[in-house]
Amino acid sequence: MRNPLSLRDLDPRYRPTLARHTASWLLWGVFAGCVTQQIGFAVRKIGGAPSLVSLVTTGPMVVAFLAPLYSPRLERFPARPLVAASRIVTAGLFLAAAGCVEPWQLALLACLALAVLRVGESFYGRLLALMYPSAARGRMQSIPLFAGAAATAVMSVLAGLVLRGGEAVYRWFFPAAGAVGVLGALLLSTVPLHGQDVRRATGRLRETLTDAVRDRPFLAWCLVYSVTGTGYWFTACALPVHFAGALRMDYLSNGIAQAALMAVYCVSFFPWGRLLDRHRSLPIMTAGWTLVAAGTAVVALGGSFEWAIVGQVLAGLGYGANDIAWFPVILEYAPAEKVDRYTAFYMCLYGLRAIVGGLGSGLIMELFPVGGSGICILTGSSIIALGVCGMLAMRAGAGRSAPSGA
């Protein structure tokens, strides 16, 4: 495929898969722009404490941390319905936002819904392997990811315009977006697959952990990347508080800031996808997370809406590298029959660093009501930079390499 936007050179067998996958991500992007990009900000705006914002951001990660417990029980089922069902439940739960009148109610609803989503993500790697050939996986998945991210960018701004109409607007807006998300998830459940879905009989926790731990290069990468991921969660928890408090943004300004990030993020999938098919993942992720560290530092130090936009643009470019590569990188390490177990181990560390980053961020913001969010963002940026140094050391060691999702 010379042109990543063209389907002319694509094997006809993959066209229905790519078309339906892209449509499902487009609808899911609408849901994400309306809900997941606004939910933490909404909790803060209706009076939620910083700790509640941290709960929304990192609470679902407890489920990711427990992935080695439930993944062996579920890996005997097909990947497609597992992923689709988790998205249906996640989006469907937001229909209940109509009855959430207190910040803690909305925060708990969001935490529960997004926790269910984490369960399905444990099996997305196996599903992705059934969609596209490995030689062109980066370029092909860049198209649905672009569609989803573009929809998220547009809807972030529109959601900001709608939500600024009053504090209670979310009570009908979030349910409406949830209905769109359910449609996208249902469409994902019909995506045509290629190849045989390699499943295993119900396993045990010990087997899940030992399969990944015995792969020393994979383990080394997971540990190094966990440093960078912990820094990400420090910044992710603090940004909604920083935007709403220190920068005094309203819903529209927050939507514009999120759209700036998402616009660069979605466009970056095409060059990152090409690089992913030509090179190993670690150089891509090293560059990407360098941009994230720089961008988050700019947000914290700039002290204005304009500088926040600059920082969001830099970070969005880096996040694009991360999100297009983290599932393929597990496929790069894992034997076909062990993809779920490698993913479960990754998700466990994913949840652990989210919990550490979230608790640390929430504690700092509670201890320092004035300026605490900026301290958290700078701390996170520094930790990300430390993780990047670890990636550079791995490259210098010429070991097996790869990236992941924060």
Q: Average pLDDT, stretch 133-138?
A: 73
Cα dihedral angle (12, 15, 16, 19), rounded to 10 degrees? -170
Does residue 336 lie in a domain region? yes
Does residue 403 lie in a domain region? no
pLDDT of 86 over the 80 cut: yes
CA distance 402 to 280: 7
CA distance 199 to 77: 7
CA distance 257 to 247: 11
CATH number for position 379: 1.20.1250.20
Does residue 288 lie in a domain region? yes
Write down the pTM of the prediction. Answer: 0.74
Does residue 227 lie in a domain region? yes
Does residue 23 lie in a domain region? yes
Rama region for 248: left / alpha / beta (φ>0; ψ in -120 to 50; rest): left
36, 177 Cβ separation under 8 angstroms: no
Q: Average pLDDT, stretch 5-32?
A: 82
Does residue 402 lie in a domain region? no
pLDDT tens across 237-272, in order?
888 889 888 888 887 888 788 888 888 988 888 888
Number of structural domains in the chain = 1
Mean model confidence pLDDT for the chain: 84
Does residue 6 lie in a domain region? no
pLDDT tens across 349-359, in order?
888 888 888 88
pLDDT band of 360, cuts 50, 70, 90 = confident
Give the residue numbers spanning the domain of 174: 13-191+204-396
Does residue 258 lie in a domain region? yes
pLDDT of 221 over the 50 cut: yes
pLDDT at position 189: 93
